[in-house]
Copies of this chain bind each other. A is one copy, B any other.
Amino acid sequence: MTKSDKQAVVLLSGGLDSATTLAVARAEGYRCHALSFDYGQRHRCELAAAARVAERLGAASHRVVSLGIGELGGSALTDPAIDVPRAPTSGIPVTYVPARNTVFLAVALGQAEVLGASDLFVGVNAVDYSGYPDCRPAFIAAFEQLANLATRAGVEGRPFRVHAPLIELSKAAIIRRGHELGVDYGLTVSCYDPDAEGRACGVCDSCRLRAAGFREAGVPDPTIYQ
C-alpha cells in the first residue's frame, strides 16, 4: 500500500486539537476525509472554522453531518437554558454533551466503512482537558474493539484503528507539535461561547486551557478575544 492509498476519517471540530490532529494525520501520509457535525452547538462558528482548516491542511474532503442530538438536552453547549461556566468548576462540567464522542466516532465509523478507510483520527486529550469521560484512553480502546465487531470490514478481517495522537500530550505540547507542522491556529475556534463574530470569550474552560497552552508553549497566541 502506497502512502496515498492510506485513507483516514478525521473528526474535525474547528478547534485547536482537531486541527492539530488533521495535521498529524496528513504528516503520517493519510488521505484525509474530514468530518464535522452540526448538532445544535452554540459555538456553530466552529463549523466555518472547520471548513477553513480542512481546506488549508489539504483534506481530501470535508463533510458536515447534521445530528439532532442537541434536542436531547443536558449540556450547556446545546441548551440555551444552561450557561457556560465563566470560572473553573469541579467534576465533569455542564459543558459535557452526553455520549457526544461515542456518537461522533460511530458516524465516523460508518463514513470510514463507506469509503473503505480503515483509520479514524480523533483529537481527544486526557491531560489538559475539560474532564469529559469520553476523552480517556480506555474509552478509545473500547471504541476500537466495538468498531471491529460492529462492521462489515471488522467481520471480514480488515480491522479499524482509532488514532488519538494527542491523548497524552499537554496543551502546550499539542501547540508546539501543530506549530512545527505549520498549523495556522488563527483559523481555529476553541471557545465554548463565542460572540456572533466568532471572537472568544476568554473565560470559559476551553479558552483558559488554550491561552495557558500558548503561554507555556512560547508560541504567539493568534486568538481574537471579545
Task: Tell me the A residues contacting B by CB distance below 8 Å.
Answer: 63, 65-69, 71-74, 92, 96-103, 105-107, 109-111, 113-114, 133-134, 136, 138-139, 142-143, 145-147, 149-152, 154-155
Contacts and interface: CB of A to CB of B under 8 A. Distances in A.
A105 B107 CA distance: 12
B92 A99 contact: no
A142 B110 CA distance: 17
A58 B136 CA distance: 38
A35 B225 CA distance: 40
A101 B150 contact: yes
Given A109-B98, A142-B146, A146-B102, A114 B73 contact: yes
A69 B111 CA distance: 8
Contacts of A74: 110, 113-114
A72 B111 CA distance: 6
B106 A102 contact: yes
Contact of A133 (B65, B110, B136, B152): B152
